[in-house]
């Protein structure tokens, strides 16, 4: 089941995703700093911000994977299969 945030990210352009990622990273670092210095009223915001960053990165990687050529995909599959054996 797709969440509302995931659907919103799917509709964004690549440049919007990059801008959102840099904004979220800045917000996360500020929250971490504030939490270390004086504490946050709701420390769960750190977790939700981290998860939003992960959602954005996942969407960017998904788009990168869809633009890969079949040769690149095959090479990636070979690398992954070697890793599984080790």
71 burial via Cβ count (<10 Å: 0-12, 13-18, 19+): exposed
What pLDDT does 31 receive?
A: 95
Which domain CATH number covers 42?
1.10.287
Contact 51, 12 (CB under 8 A): no
Range of the domain at 42: 4-85
The pTM for the full model equals 0.80
Q: Count up the domains in the chain and report the number.
A: 1
What is the predicted pLDDT for the residue at 2?
A: 61
For residue 27, is pLDDT > 90?
A: yes
């Amino acid at each position: 089941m797709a969440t509302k945030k995931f659907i919103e990210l799917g509709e964004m352009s690549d440049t919007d995703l990059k801008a959102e990622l840099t904004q979220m990273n800045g917000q996360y670092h500020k929250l971490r700093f504030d939490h270390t210095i004086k504490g946050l009223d709701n420390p769960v915001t750190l977790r939700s911000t981290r998860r939003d960053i992960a959602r954005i990165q996942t969407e960017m990687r998904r788009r990168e994977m869809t633009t890969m050529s079949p040769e690149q995909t095959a090479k990636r599959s070979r690398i992954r299969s070697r890793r599984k054996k080790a």
